Amino acid sequence: MGRIAFVFSGQGDQHPGMGREFAAMDAGKRVFDRCDSLREGTLRQCLSSTEEELRETKNTQPCLFAMEMAAAAVLEENGIHGDATAGFSMGEVAALTYGGAMDLEKGFRLICQRGLLMQKAVEKQDTAMAAVVKLSAEQVEEICERFEALYPVNFNSPGQVSVAGKAEVMVPFFEEVKKAGGKAIPLKVKGAFHSPFMAEASEAFGDLLRESPIALPKLEVYSNVSAKPYRENPGELLAKQISSPVRWEELIKNMVASGVDTFIEIGPGKTLCNLIRRIDPAVKVCSAAEVLQEVSHAEG
């Protein structure tokens, strides 16, 4: 058997009620209680907020982080460990926390700051994101070049690239994508993440990380920016990630090449499971909730 990787999801799959099954277990409840002590109302937002409230970046990121760390704690308590880890976008903060670069408290404080800084950047411009399917990365890049302030930002899997930019160009961009034989799907996020629109947030987050540095992780944690394991300058890479493209397809291929053959998505959905299946159909993928169900059935 090969190695297991925990992959922590980013924004987009959040929904009211997420994490309920993990909050009901001791290990998960301890995580939620700690996060609630640092940011009151985090568990309430996860379980009973509105879609709109959860979609606000300043809420999305802390809530997803808490939910994901609770899920990882429950899996750990049941003897399921990641040999390597990565996180998509904000999920990289959770991956680094799980990997030992910082403790839960520091990771949660950082993700709260990250969410606030990105929310501030979002409020300065009317921006949006969309996923483009059925076109190659090169085709998407070529179409983006026809528009001002529109960027390919997340290289998710073969035939799927996310773009970010001014909201006003999205409708004509969608039309160009359709003409080329592709399809553009608006994403449930508010902001042009991983683009130059996030430069100010990236710089401010970098200042925070210089004031309060994080360590190199003890576990093998793969970076969105380099698609390779963290080897040096963890704070610099994590800050740069905010305004840099996510090289997810390349990252997953590198993890597989390192011996990973099982991926467990730590998050409220299955977006990463679906992407990884497209990247390499030979590997095993499942969600944390599915693993928990298997454990419960085995014990039952």
Positive or negative torsion for Cα 212, 33, 193, 100? positive
> Tokens for 242?
């905010």
Q: What is the pLDDT of residue 7?
A: 98
- In the chain, the amino acid numbered 192 is A
- In the chain, the amino acid numbered 120 is K
> Tokens for 82?
């990641």
**Among residues 190, 197, 180, which one has the least CA distance to residue 140?**
180
> Tokens for 6?
């925990």
> Tokens for 18?
């997420």
Q: Whose structure tokens read 């299955």?
A: 270
**Among residues 109, 125, 108, which one has the least CA distance to residue 70?**
108
- Is the pLDDT assigned to residue 295 strictly greater than 70? yes
Strand duo 160-166 + 127-133: pairing: antiparallel
Q: Whose structure tokens read 């401010």?
A: 204
Q: pLDDT tens, 43-91?
A: 999 999 999 999 999 999 999 999 999 999 999 999 999 999 999 999 9
Q: Is 143 helix (H, G, I), strand (E, B) or coil?
A: helix
Q: What is the pLDDT of residue 138?
A: 96
- The listed range with the strongest mean pLDDT (55-59, 111-115, 188-192) is 111-115
Contacts of 294 (CB under 8 A, 6+ apart): none
Q: Any bridge partners for residue 185, and if so which?
A: 131
- Is the pLDDT assigned to residue 228 strictly greater than 70? yes
Quick one: DSSP state of residue 129?
E
CB 179 within 8 A of CB 1: no
CB 125 within 8 A of CB 168: no
Q: pLDDT tens, 1-39?
A: 689 999 999 998 999 999 999 999 999 999 999 999 999
Q: How many CA atoms within 13 Å lie on the side-chain side of 194?
A: 28
Higher pLDDT, 91 or 292: 91
User: Distance (Å, rounded) from C-alpha 271 to C-alpha 274?
Assistant: 5
Per domain, the residue ranges of the chain are 3-123+195-299, 126-186
User: Distance (Å, rounded) from C-alpha 181 to C-alpha 276?
Assistant: 23
Structural fold of domain 126-186: Alpha-Beta Plaits (3.30.70)
pTM of the complete model? 0.95
Average pLDDT, whole number, for the chain?
Answer: 95
pLDDT band (50, 70, 90) for residue 108: very high
pLDDT band (50, 70, 90) for residue 292: confident
CB 288 within 8 A of CB 71: yes
Which CATH superfamily hosts domain 3-123+195-299?
Answer: Malonyl-Coenzyme A Acyl Carrier Protein, domain 2 (3.40.366.10)
Known catalytic residues are: 89, 194
Q: Whose structure tokens read 């680094």?
A: 96
User: Distance (Å, rounded) from C-alpha 16 to C-alpha 143?
Assistant: 35
| Long-range own/partner contacts, residues 179-185 (CB < 8 A, 24 or more apart) | 180/135, 180/139, 180/143, 181/134, 181/135, 182/132, 182/133, 182/134, 182/135, 182/139, 182/140, 183/132, 183/133, 183/134, 184/130, 184/131, 184/132, 185/130, 185/131, 185/132, 185/133
- Is the pLDDT assigned to residue 294 strictly greater than 90? no
